[in-house]
Chain A
Amino acid sequence: MKSKFFLILVTLLIVATFVLTASAKEFVFGVSLDKLYLGRQAEMKGVKDAAKEQGVKLLESVADNDVQLQNAQIDSFITQGVDVIMIVAVDSVAILSAIDAAEAAGIPVVTFDRKVDSDYVSYHSGLDSLADGKACGEYVKSKYDGKPHVILHLLGALNDDNAIQRRDGFESALKGLDKLEIIQAPTDWKAEKGLAAVENALVSHPDLWAIQLPHDGMQDSIKTALEGAGKLFHAEKEGHIIVCTIDGAEPGYRATVEGWTDGVVALPLFALGRGALEAALLVAKGGTPEIKDQRFPGTFFTYKNAKENADKIWGATFK
């Protein structure tokens, strides 16, 4: 009887040791980023804060928009035997071969910001770019006076799902307003292309009514173009061109507070990054996220309320 009790106790102790060891295991996640600009850094802040709280070690790599380099970096993560690979893809098609390699190695993959069409991806934490674009479109619609107007719609990179969704969301809000002419100009997310598009539009359409920006990284260059054309006015002044932007970085926040930009959709980048890390941890522990494609919509702030809501706009404080 005593020996049986002793045997049970030893067994329980051994099992407890394994359980404790497993739960005390430090997880190592590989994080592969496309490029390191301020918005991505804000997302990574969310990832890092959550990783610190959860005791997860992160290995980071930045591909600087080089597809081959990103694939090689992910291969390095596989070689190092990370528990999960978190990816913001440079190109959502070219990344598939790297995801295939991760699948062959049995390493789960979680994506964030940029969606990848792969069944192997366990979870995606993304923006609700359709809603974000629509929020800007609704604001522009609220200013519509029934007269014919020209809108310059600057687009991001068309191989990026976020750019496509923002475009569709914005234009869906203006559907049916037949007197509005929308001119699309792809910019590849590049400020210099945005500047060139605005300058050209101001020459060919001196009565330009509104400009929709794909992100506020091009805010300063648009301001330059408007100043050069003598069209930079506060939102409440005569001659003002309606400007809306998406992101919530410092340039967009500043421009909105200054009043020459009507409004900015502040993206919940910290929450997006945190959500990705927490889902990755769940997957690493063998769990399955309830929602496989989680979307975080932004909030639209105008020049009237941006300053008092600075704490809700990530670019107001994040540097």
Chain B
Amino acid sequence: MKQTTLKEAETSKDISYPKTVPNRLMELLSKSSVLPILIPLWILFAFLAPSFATLRNARTMLAATAVVAVAAIGETLVLINGGIDLSVATVVACSAVLAAKFMETEGSPFIGLLIALGIGLVFGIINGFSVAKLGLTPFVLTLGTNLIARGIAFSVSKGYAIRAPLALRQFGRMNWLGLPVIVVIALVMLVIFGLLLSKTTWGRYIYFLGANKEAARYVGINCGLIGASVYVITGLLCGLAGYLSVTNLGAAIPGVGDTILLIIIGGVILGGTSLFGGVGSVWRTALGVLLLATLTNGLNLLGFGFYDQLIAQGIVIIIGTGLTIRLR
């Protein structure tokens, strides 16, 4: 009997190819550059560090990832669309600081959320309008907005952390369905944007534009509008991430954006999103961010020094990116 390989089954129209669980799993593993690294890492850390495979540790790891994951959704959209946004991290910080500053005096966490989203929206509109209408290079433009956002964050806060109101701190310590509330919010965002990207016309246009902008224009896609919308949505997501940051830490840190930009971009690229556009997905980004979080968490539990962790993260990013390119 002729054995059908996985590749042949995928490319053929042979409907008799059995979609069993093991076959689906192999299909998923073959498409993802992260899972072949992530799963062995989980097994290794669970074996070497007894407290790794505990519910508490899983919650800790996910909570530490939630803010980055939400911002990384936005970066994923931008990269798939063929652009880049270097301001994501500092917009997170700026949104966090301005929201916390308001809540410091007025106290309303809900208004604070609207302010954080509003700040993100403003930066998103600036980035989107500048790229789509004015034709500015995304790299240079968002480098500029990155500096502006950072400057505002430090100027308003004067470099100090701003404590969140008690109600928000209490909210941040709540669990929903056994998970920290910020993790649940991040998961909801992942689901929403995963569906928007894969199941809507808007999502398909983003891929199309990223893959071939000229072709997209020829078929009548409003490239300016789609391109701008991506930056606007990213801004909103960064605003939300900023608010989640305040909720998680119990304070707004003006320098929070200084350390997370590379983690955001690293997670997105590691997940398989192409720097050149047209390829990627929100779920893959989630896996990429989870991989970096797993590495940090596991190495912490094993007592690895901070600088050794940086080396390990760098090696994993290189291996993961290499795998991604080979799979393509």
- Contacts from A to B (Cβ < 8 Å): 36, 59-69, 71-73, 75-76, 78-81, 91-94, 96-97, 100, 104, 157-159, 188
Contact = CB atoms under 8 A, between A and B. Distances in A.
B253 interface: yes
Contacts of B51: 76, 79-81
Nearest to B64: A72
A93 B251 contact: yes
Across the A-B interface, the 9 shortest Cβ-Cβ residue pairs: A97-B250, A93-B161, A62-B306, A75-B60, A72-B64, A76-B300, A94-B251, A94-B161, A79-B57
Given A67-B256, A68-B249, 10 more contacts: A63-B306, A68-B259, A76-B51, A79-B51, A79-B57, A93-B160, A97-B169, A97-B248, A97-B249, A100-B169
A97 B256 contact: no
A76 B306 contact: no
Most buried by B among A59, A67, A81, A158: A67
B297 interface: yes
Contact of A72 (B169, B245, B255, B297): B297
Interface string B259-274: 1100000000000000
Given A67-B255, A72-B297, A80-B301, A97 B172 contact: yes
30 contacts: A60-B303, A62-B305, A62-B306, A64-B306, A67-B161, A67-B256, A68-B64, A68-B253, A71-B248, A71-B249, A72-B296, A73-B300, A75-B60, A75-B63, A76-B57, A76-B300, A76-B301, A79-B56, A79-B301, A80-B51, A81-B51, A91-B161, A91-B251, A94-B250, A97-B172, A97-B248, A97-B249, A158-B160, A159-B159, A188-B159
Interface in B198-254: 245, 248-251, 253
B12 interface: no
A275 B59 CA distance: 34
Contacts of B173: 100, 104
B300 A61 contact: yes
A157 B161 CA distance: 12
Nearest to A93: B161
Nearest to B65: A72
A64 B248 CA distance: 19
B252 to A, nearest CB: 9
The interface centre, meaning the residue of B63, B250, B296, B305 with most chain A CB atoms within 10 A of its CB, is B250
A65 B256 CA distance: 10
Contacts of A59: 303
A68 B256 contact: yes
Q: Summarize B's interface: helix, strand, loop or mixed.
A: helix
Contacts of B159: 157-159, 188
A65, A67, A79: which has the most chain B beta carbons within 10 Å? A79
Contacts of B163: 93, 96
Interface residues of B, number: 35
B67 interface: yes
B54 interface: yes
Contacts of A91: 161, 251, 253
Contacts of A64: 306
Contacts of B169: 97, 100
Nearest to A188: B159
A68 B160 contact: no
A68 B57 contact: no
B54 A79 contact: yes
Interface string B112-146: 00000000000000000000000000000000000
Given A67-B249, A91-B251, A76 B297 contact: yes
Interface string B24-58: 00000000000000000000000000010010110
B155 to A, nearest CB: 13
B301 A159 contact: no
Nearest to B160: A159
A68 B260 contact: yes
A69 B259 contact: yes
A80 B50 CA distance: 8
A76 B50 CA distance: 12
Of B54, B172, B255, B296, most buried by chain A (CB within 10 Å of CB) is: B255
Contacts of A79: 51, 54, 56-57, 60, 301
B297 A61 contact: no
Interface in B59-83: 60, 63-64, 67
B259 A66 contact: yes
B162 to A, nearest CB: 8
A80 B60 CA distance: 12
A71 B169 CA distance: 14
Contacts of A75: 60, 63-64
